């Protein structure tokens, strides 16, 4: 490892030569290579994290370029898989590191395999189902989970050090110092279609930058200095309106089914959306893991910018310019015009939420 590259960083007493060596030995998993994943991966790569494992199911498209800083027009023109394009860019930035791209969906049946030999879990996801699965993994393995999210002009970020019964990574903390897990903070995901998504509400690039800077700083601190004294507050950041708030949740909830009750519903596949390809049609049916009534009128308003919208009292239909059709029913069930499950799940998460 050449110290010239990291000289200015090593001048910081918080890092120094010892911290830089720890960064070089660290293994970080970034789940999702969208706006969040790109931003935090870029910062961790330039900081000298030795091994990054990137997982993403999607390909680059022109609308990504406004905020996903690892991609360029050529990536979009060729619809390159995001994990592959991101890995190539990161290796060009820092050839000394190892980048391991995984082009796949982050699913319960491969989650433990993908998180093997990892020190920190970093959230670059765009859907709640994936985040609750990641939380299950963090609690199950005893790994730190650096959570983040951004929609509109507001972003959230926090470091989660949950209760555990054993730890797999190099970063450890005693059970007496464990904090809340994601389900302590948000016990249940809201019904599908309730929350805005980046595709329906938009997202501000500077918000992503602010969130991922905080997220990368938390990750680096965990690697260099461990968990002692780390800020565990949930931070809300809104650069557009100049707002910043923090909520402190010091202790796990005694009634949390995950970290207290050791119930891993997403990791065991009990809470994932149910998908099936309809026979004889290029259509995937998706039934949400937590059925609930969808406000079709509000969803129709969000969809106006994405194509032709038709609605009656039973269902809402979107015909996209590329010919894709998405039909959602009042109970959250949807029919997605796609040939494979991963594409259908991605479109559902983008336009409805999960």
pLDDT > 90: what percent of the chain? 58
Residue 352 vs residue 210, higher pLDDT = 210
Query: What are the pLDDT digits (tens) for 60-72?
Result: 889 899 999 999 9
Query: What are the pLDDT digits (tens) for 235-271?
Result: 999 999 999 999 987 789 999 999 999 999 999 998 8
Cβ–Cβ < 8 Å for 328, 352: yes
- Exactly one of 33, 38, 198, 224 is catalytic; name it: 198
Mean pLDDT in residue range 92-107: 93
**Cβ neighbours, 10 Å, residue 92:** 10
The backbone region for 73, taken as left when phi is positive above 0, alpha when psi lies in -120 to 50, beta otherwise, is alpha
Which domains can be identified in the chain, with CATH numbers? Answer: 7-247 (3.40.50.720), 274-351 (3.30.310)
pLDDT of 280 above 60: no
Banded model confidence at residue 37, pLDDT cuts 50, 70, 90 = very high
Active site residue 198: yes
Banded model confidence at residue 352, pLDDT cuts 50, 70, 90 = confident
Mean pLDDT in residue range 181-188: 93
Residue 41 vs residue 61, higher pLDDT = 41
Of 345, 340, 64, the closest CA to residue 198 belongs to 64
* Verdict on whether the full-model pTM lies above 0.85: no
Banded model confidence at residue 192, pLDDT cuts 50, 70, 90 = low
Banded model confidence at residue 277, pLDDT cuts 50, 70, 90 = low
The backbone region for 104, taken as left when phi is positive above 0, alpha when psi lies in -120 to 50, beta otherwise, is beta
Q: Identify which of 17-21, 124-128, 185-189, 310-314 has the greatest average pLDDT.
A: 17-21
Give the per-residue pLDDT at 2: 59
Strands (E) located in the chain: 27-31, 51-56, 98-103, 120-123, 145-151, 154-160, 234-238, 243-247, 274-277, 284-287, 308-311, 315-319, 325-329, 334-336
Query: What are the pLDDT digits (tens) for 42-60?
Result: 999 999 999 999 999 888 8
For the chain, what is the mean pLDDT?
89
pLDDT of 1 above 60: no
pLDDT of 287 above 90: no
Query: What are the pLDDT digits (tens) for 27-36?
Result: 999 999 999 9
**Cβ neighbours, 10 Å, residue 26:** 25
Give the per-residue pLDDT at 179: 94
pLDDT of 291 above 80: no
């Amino acid at each position: 490892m050449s110290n010239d590259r990291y000289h200015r960083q090593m001048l910081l007493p918080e890092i120094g030569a010892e911290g830089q060596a720890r960064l070089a030995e660290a293994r970080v998993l970034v789940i999702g290579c969208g706006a969040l994943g790109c931003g935090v991966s870029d910062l961790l790569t330039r900081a000298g994290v030795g091994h990054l494992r990137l997982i993403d199911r999607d390909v680059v498209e022109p609308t990504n370029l406004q905020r996903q800083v690892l991609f360029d027009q050529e990536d979009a023109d060729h619809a390159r898989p995001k994990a592959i394009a991101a890995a190539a860019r990161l290796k060009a930035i820092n050839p000394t590191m190892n980048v391991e791209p995984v082009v796949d969906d982050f699913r319960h049946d491969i989650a433990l395999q993908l998180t093997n030999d990892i020190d920190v879990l970093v959230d670059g996801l765009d859907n709640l189902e994936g985040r609750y699965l990641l939380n299950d993994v963090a609690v199950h393995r005893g790994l730190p989970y650096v959570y983040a999210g951004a929609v509109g002009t507001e972003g959230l970020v926090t470091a989660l050090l949950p209760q555990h019964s054993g730890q797999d990574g190099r970063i450890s903390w005693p059970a007496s110092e464990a904090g809340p897990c994601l389900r302590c903070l948000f016990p249940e995901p809201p019904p599908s279609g309730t929350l805005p998504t980046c595709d329906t509400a938009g997202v501000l690039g500077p918000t992503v930058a602010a969130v991922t800077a905080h997220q990368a700083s938390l990750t680096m601190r965990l690697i260099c200095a461990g968990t002692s004294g780390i800020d565990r507050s949930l931070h809300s950041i809104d650069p557009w309106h100049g707002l910043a708030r923090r909520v402190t949740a010091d202790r796990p909830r005694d009634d949390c089914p995950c970290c207290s009750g050791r119930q891993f519903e997403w990791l065991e596949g009990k809470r994932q959306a149910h998908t099936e390809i309809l026979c004889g049609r290029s259509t995937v049916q998706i039934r949400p893991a937590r059925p609930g009534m969808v406000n079709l009128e509000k969803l129709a308003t969000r969809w106006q910018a994405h194509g032709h919208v038709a609605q009656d009292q039973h269902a809402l239909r979107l015909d996209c310019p590329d010919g894709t059709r998405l039909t959602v029913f009042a109970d959250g069930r949807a029919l997605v015009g796609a040939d494979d499950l991963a594409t259908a799940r991605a479109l559902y998460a983008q336009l409805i939420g999960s």
